[in-house]
């Protein structure tokens, strides 16, 4: 059964005439009220004006007028795990990669340099800059995304010179760290959210806290 397109805009009476001409025996013999109701519904809805109201995505409202451009690092592979921006100088940015270590820019993304190449792992899961002292940077190693090829890390590392040198601060068996939060006033208070071993049980998983930096 083929109905006239709603774009034709037939009047209900014209639609009834169409049905009578197309299906005379069906309509005249059966007097099927349901068919008339269907026909009336189709034609009536054809004349109902449709008000199209575009609902703007909240994300579009936030980024409206903002022009994005790629700033690199362009030659490194791997998934980006975390980004940390110096609160005192937004041009200083750290970017942690799942398989490509830690990179830093001091020029708002114009140039990048690796800051974690000499460590035991190139997998970074979390980066955090201490709000009260941006020279102190914390890195949690091991990609936090659970996948069959997730590279693991060796715990938490700390730098007191803006990422030039690093020391291990423990939690080496956490393997995968998803978040590090430093207290905004007390730089010695740090929280670490650790996934732990992806494919087996271990004790070093969950949320950990240090109060001595």
Q: Residue 182 is part of a domain; what is its CATH number? A: 2.130.10.10
Same domain, 12 and 92: no
Same domain, 30 and 127: no
* Furthest-apart CA atoms within the chain: distance in Å: 93
pLDDT tens-digit series, residues 5-44:
444 455 555 555 655 666 565 544 444 555 555 555 555 5
Mean of the per-residue pLDDT values of the chain: 80
The pLDDT of residue 96 is above 80: yes
Same domain, 99 and 195: yes
User: Which has the higher per-residue pLDDT, 116 or 63?
Assistant: 116
User: Which has the higher per-residue pLDDT, 62 or 126?
Assistant: 126
CA distance 176 to 205: 9
Same domain, 179 and 115: yes
pLDDT tens-digit series, residues 127-148:
999 999 999 999 999 998 877 7
Parent domain of 89: 76-210
Q: Using a pLDDT cut of 70, give the percent of the chain over it.
A: 69
> In which residue are the tokens 């398989």 written?
99
106 confidence band (pLDDT: 50, 70, 90): very high
Same domain, 93 and 62: no
Closest CA to 110 of 67, 164, 72, 82: 72
Same domain, 58 and 80: no
What is the arithmetic mean of pLDDT over 103-131? 94
Same domain, 56 and 99: no
Same domain, 45 and 98: no
Whole-number pLDDT of residue 181: 97
Q: Pick from 34, 68, 102: which residue ends a domain?
A: 68
Whole-number pLDDT of residue 17: 62
> In which residue are the tokens 């996934």 written?
195
How many structural domains comprise the chain? 2
Spell out the long-range contacts of 60-66 with Cβ–Cβ below 8 A and sequence spacing 24 or more. Answer: none
Same domain, 57 and 86: no
Least confident among 18-22, 110-114, 118-122: 18-22
Same domain, 181 and 109: yes
pLDDT tens-digit series, residues 135-182:
999 999 999 887 777 889 999 999 999 999 999 999 999 999 999 999
Same domain, 51 and 140: no
Whole-number pLDDT of residue 6: 44
Supply the DSSP string of 128-160, one letter for each residue: EE-TT-TT-EEEEES--S--TTPPP--SEEEES
Q: Pick from 36, 68, 100: which residue ends a domain?
A: 68
Same domain, 84 and 32: no
Q: Pick from 14, 39, 68: which residue ends a domain?
A: 68
Whole-number pLDDT of residue 149: 76
The span from the first CA to the last CA of the chain, in angstroms, equals 77
Whole-number pLDDT of residue 2: 46
pTM score, whole prediction: 0.66
């Amino acid at each position: 059964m083929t109905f006239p397109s709603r774009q034709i805009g037939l009047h209900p009476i014209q639609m009834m005439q169409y049905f009578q001409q197309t299906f005379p025996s069906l309509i005249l013999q059966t007097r099927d009220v349901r068919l008339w109701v269907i026909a009336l519904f189709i034609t009536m809805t054809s004349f109902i004006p449709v008000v199209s109201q575009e609902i703007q995505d909240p994300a579009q409202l936030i980024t409206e007028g903002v022009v994005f451009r790629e700033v690199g690092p362009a030659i490194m592979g791997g998934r980006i795990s975390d980004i940390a921006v110096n609160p005192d100088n937004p041009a200083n940015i750290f970017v942690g990669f799942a398989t490509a270590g830690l990179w830093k820019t001091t020029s708002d993304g114009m140039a990048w340099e690796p800051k974690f190449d000499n460590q035991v792992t190139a997998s970074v899961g979390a980066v955090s800059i201490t709000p009260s002292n941006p020279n102190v940077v914390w890195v949690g190693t091991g990609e936090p995304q659970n996948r069959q090829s997730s590279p693991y890390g060796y715990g938490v590392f700390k730098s007191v010179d803006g990422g030039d040198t690093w020391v291990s601060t423990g939690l080496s068996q956490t393997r995968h760290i998803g978040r590090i939060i430093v207290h905004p006033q007390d730089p010695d208070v740090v929280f670490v959210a650790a996934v732990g071993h992806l494919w087996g049980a271990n004790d070093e998983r969950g949320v950990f806290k240090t109060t001595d930096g």
